[in-house]
């Protein structure tokens, strides 16, 4: 039996973490709040889609469904013949047919249903049997352009973003201006999906705090200088900076880095609402949290290699083991929050700033 749906007034988090309480447990068990997140949160935020590695050649078209199971929005990424990248709707403006089913190369986009044609930028070209149609074509016959942007070679899109890409990713771009994104290569053999039997927000919360590391991740704890573990809060993102223990591998940072002189084991970046960018000396693990239902979440681990000789060392050495440990505890929390005796908890002011920030953003977006 689900707990009662929350009122808008109850969706509030005290700005002072020292006195604040967490979200009520009914947020995670209410179908109504889950439905509300679809339009209020996921259509308004930047989502990771793919890498330019998949769009190397002029005239390439790559279809992409944005968040299957929650948004199911058909997008189309195109590298135009002038070498520019576009993100456009993959739905024909005539009768709604899906235009491109699989990656391909083409000079134009042609709907196989009735022959409507578009330029690679989405501009309407021609439609058979429409000579007598008045006020045709118009702007609405062009394929809608979807806001898109890049962080290095990573491509993001947003249906109706509440914030600009710079407002969301600016701090990351500045902090990691030295990182060689162009040298990253996707490794499908080290990439995989995990199904977690929990609410998507519980999975994010677990990521956003290091308090559980000594208790849940013994092997990870052993390679970190846990006493130097810190969290930094940005407007739509946060960073957990993990320093390496003595003798463990860390980044060889250039003098231009703001962290020069520190023995950094990992940069754990979270971007609201459902994206993790984990940078290690061997490369980057991109984690996309995809809600499938109220108590079911798919987490895609996408591995991009920079230096394969370092992949079995340090903080990024046992990602599958760490993930399994996280799944176990998050699924346990999902069971626990159904209890009649649990409503909400308190935040650790020193270790749970990331969760406090996440909850404030949830309330902000859901209150729109």
Domain 47-157 matches domain 175-366 at the CATH topology level: no
Query: Where exactly are the structural domains of the chain?
Result: 47-157, 175-366
Residues near 270 by beta carbon (within 8 Å), at least 6 away in sequence: 204, 207, 208, 237, 238, 239, 240, 276, 354, 358
Contacts of 53 (CB under 8 A, 6+ apart): 153, 184, 185, 186
- Residue 342 near residue 258, CB atoms below 8 Å: no
Distance between CA atoms of residues 202 and 321, nearest Å: 19
pLDDT digits (tens, 9 = 90+) for 52-81: 999 999 999 999 999 999 999 999 999 998
pLDDT string in tens for the chain (368-residue length):
444 444 444 589 999 999 999 999 999 999 999 999 999 999 999 999 999 999 999 999 999 999 999 999 999 999 998 889 999 999 999 999 999 999 999 999 999 999 999 999 999 999 999 999 999 999 999 999 999 999 999 999 999 999 999 999 999 999 999 999 999 999 999 999 999 999 999 999 999 999 999 898 989 999 999 999 999 999 999 999 999 999 999 999 999 999 999 999 999 999 999 999 999 999 999 999 999 999 999 999 999 999 999 999 999 999 999 999 999 999 999 999 999 999 999 999 999 999 999 999 999 999 95
| Domain range 47-157, its CATH number among 1.10.357.10, 2.102.10.10, 2.60.40.10, 2.40.128.110 | 2.102.10.10
Q: pTM of this prediction? A: 0.94
Which tens digit of pLDDT belongs to each residue from 10-52? 589 999 999 999 999 999 999 999 999 999 999 999 999 999 9
Which of helix, strand or coil describes residue 208?
coil
- Distance, CA of 291 to CA of 286 (rounded, Å): 16
State residue 368's pLDDT score.
59
Q: Are 180 and 254 in contact (CB under 8 A)?
A: no
Q: Which residues contact 340 (CB under 8 A, 6 or more apart)?
A: none
C-alpha neighbours within 13 Å on the C-beta side of residue 311: 14
Average pLDDT of the residues of the chain: 95
Q: Which CATH fold topology does 175-366 show?
A: Naphthalene 1,2-dioxygenase Alpha Subunit; Chain A, domain 1 (3.90.380)
Report the DSSP pairing between strands 60-66 and 124-126: unpaired
What is the predicted pLDDT for the residue at 81?
87
The 8-class DSSP code of residue 316 comes to G
């Amino acid at each position: 039996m689900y707990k009662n749906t929350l009122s808008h007034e109850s969706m509030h988090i005290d700005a002072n973490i020292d006195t604040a309480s967490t979200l009520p447990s009914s947020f995670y068990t209410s179908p109504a709040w889950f439905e509300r997140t679809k339009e209020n949160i996921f259509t308004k935020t930047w989502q990771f889609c793919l890498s330019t590695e998949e769009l190397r050649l002029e005239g390439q078209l790559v279809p992409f469904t944005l968040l299957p199971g929650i948004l199911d929005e058909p997008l189309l990424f195109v590298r135009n013949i002038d070498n520019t990248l576009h993100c456009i709707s993959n739905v024909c403006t005539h009768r709604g047919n899906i235009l491109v089913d699989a990656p391909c190369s083409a000079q134009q986009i042609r709907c196989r249903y009735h022959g409507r044609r578009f330029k690679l930028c989405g501009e309407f070209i021609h439609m058979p049997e429409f000579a007598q149609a008045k006020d045709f074509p118009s702007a609405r016959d062009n394929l809608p352009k979807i806001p898109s942007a890049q962080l290095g070679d990573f491509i993001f899109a947003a249906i109706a973003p509440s914030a600009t890409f710079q407002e969301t990713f600016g701090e990351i771009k500045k902090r990691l201006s030295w990182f060689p994104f162009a040298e990253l290569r996707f490794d499908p053999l080290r990439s995989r999906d995990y199904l977690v039997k929990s609410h998507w927000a519980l999975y994010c919360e677990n990521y956003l705090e290091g308090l559980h590391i000594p208790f849940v991740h013994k092997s990870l704890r052993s390679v970190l200088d846990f006493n130097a573990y810190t969290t930094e809060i940005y407007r739509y993102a946060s960073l957990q900076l993990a320093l390496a223990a003595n003798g463990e591998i860390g980044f060889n940072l250039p003098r231009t880095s703001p962290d020069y002189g520190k023995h950094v084991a990992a940069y754990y970046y979270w971007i609201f609402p459902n994206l993790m960018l984990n940078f290690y000396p061997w490369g980057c693990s991109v984690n996309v949290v995809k809600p499938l239902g109220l108590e079911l979440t798919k987490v895609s681990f996408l591995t991009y290699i920079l230096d394969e000789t370092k992949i079995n060392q340090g903080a990024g050495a046992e990602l599958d083991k760490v993930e399994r440990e996280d799944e176990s505890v998050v699924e346990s929390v999902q069971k626990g929050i159904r209890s009649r005796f649990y409503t909400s908890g308190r935040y650790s002011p020193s270790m749970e700033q990331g969760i406090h920030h996440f909850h404030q953003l949830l309330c902000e977006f859901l209150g729109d």
